[in-house]
Structure 1
């Protein structure tokens, strides 16, 4: 996959770390297939369709680096989001995909500060939000 330029890599001591090449022409297609395989597309649809002021949703942790995990870590960006509603939607999504979902709610500025130089993957954004968030 690295030779096909689907993955980029870096060396971290004696470890070789692989990352998705987001500039590859097939990245969007592969990303969509992976989201469907894991069930993240169901999470996104269930959560975002019912939250009025959600601005963006990001994956962090293992999934942001392309690793499978039984825990899905998410950051939700928005103002005055209803935590009780989110909790009930997350609970339903967890039952549907048989994985645990952990989330936090932050502002865009907090996301940049907390996750600077850490892997994050934008999985949904409102059409009114600027897509250019650089955390590195």
Structure 2
């Protein structure tokens, strides 16, 4: 989806990087990470900065770039990137296949727009399929390079015996 809207492959990589994977980067490290020429990365960084989607600041001789969190479309682009990476699909699959899930929430840093590398979820339900949850967490890590931590709560308040935390 995202790559059909944005024709530059380098620009797609930059949007994915800045709106999901990390908060900042500089030209040479981005070129190396993407296995692209510094010129093609520079051109796209300049275009995204001119559009106001990225901001840059000098750190010594290095210019650091990061997403402009005050841009009016920041949340929309972050949402598109999230859908592109499959996080919405992950939540939908969990709710459909885990068993009797009454509620599912993404909480913590990711819910607050901070990409700390960990997605924290709370599932409320009864008799949930823990084996399938383990499979989904591994697949999520492979697909979006994020650790997934899940807290499980029983849906019947009389049965709540605490929160079990499962991490990768």
- TM-score scaled to structure 1, two decimals? 0.51
Q: Tell me the C-alpha RMSD between the 2 structures.
A: 3.0
Q: Which has the larger radius of gyration?
A: 2
Aligned residue in 2 for 1:67: 114
Structure 1 residue runs of 4+, over 4 Å off? 28-32
Cα distance change, pair 75–48 in 1 and its aligned pair in 2 (3 A) = same
Instruction: Show CA shifts across 1:100-130 (max 9, x none).
Output: 1010101466xxxx9xxxxxxxxxxxxxxxx
- Segments of 5+ residues of structure 2 without an aligned counterpart are 1-72, 163-168
Instruction: Show CA shifts across 1:27-73 (max 9, x none).
Output: x9677435315531132133223123111111111012121221001
Alpha carbons 1:42, 1:93 under 8 Å: kept: no
Count of aligned pairs: 85
Distance 1:33 1:58 in 2: 19
- Segments of 5+ residues of structure 1 without an aligned counterpart are 1-25, 115-136
User: Counterparts in 2 of 1:43-58, with a 5 A limit?
Assistant: 43-58=90-105
Greater RCO, 1 or 2 (C-alpha within 8 Å, sep 6+): 1
Distance 2:154 2:82 in 1: 24
Aligned residue in 1 for 2:144: 97
Aligned residue in 2 for 1:80: 127
Larger helix proportion of the pair? 2
Query: Once the 2 structures are TM-superposed, how far is the Cα of residue 80 of structure 1 from its aligned partner?
Result: 1.0
- TM-score scaled to structure 2, two decimals? 0.42
Query: Which sits farther off after the overlay, 68-77 or 29-38?
Result: 29-38
Distance 2:128 2:144 in 1: 23
